[in-house]
Amino acid sequence: MASTDVLARPDGNPARLVHQRKENNARIRWLSDKEETAMRRVIRRDCPKRLPEFEVALHTGMRLSEQYGMLWEFVDFKNQVITIPKSKHGDARHVRMNSRVTAILSGLKNHSLGVGRVFSLHSPRCWFEAALGATGLKDFTSHCLRHTFISRLVMKGIDLRTVQELAGHKSIQMTCRYAHLAPGHEQTAVEMLVKKSAAPRRKRTVRPTATTTATGQIVANNARQLQFSKPLQVMGLGLVGPPGFEPGTNGL
Of 198, 197, 196, 219, give the one whose Cα is nearest residue 208. Answer: 219
Cα–Cα dist 221/207, whole Å: 10
Render 108-135 in DSSP notation, one character per residue: HHHTS-S-SBSSS-S-SHHHHHHHHHHH
Q: For residue 221, what are the β-bridge partners? A: none
pLDDT beneath 50: ranges in the chain? 2-3, 6-7, 13-24, 223-240, 245-247, 249-252
Structural domains of the chain sorted by starting position, each given as residue range(s) with its CATH number in brackets? 25-190 (1.10.443.10)
pLDDT at 218: 52
CA quadruple 133, 136, 140, 145: dihedral, nearest 10 = -90
CB atoms within 10 A of CB 79: 10
Q: How many CB atoms lie within 10 A of CB 213?
A: 9
Structure confidence at residue 207 (pLDDT) = 64
Beta carbons within 8 Å of 142's beta carbon, 6+ residues apart: 57, 64, 124, 125, 128
Q: What is the pLDDT of residues 51-62, one digit of tens each?
A: 999 999 999 999
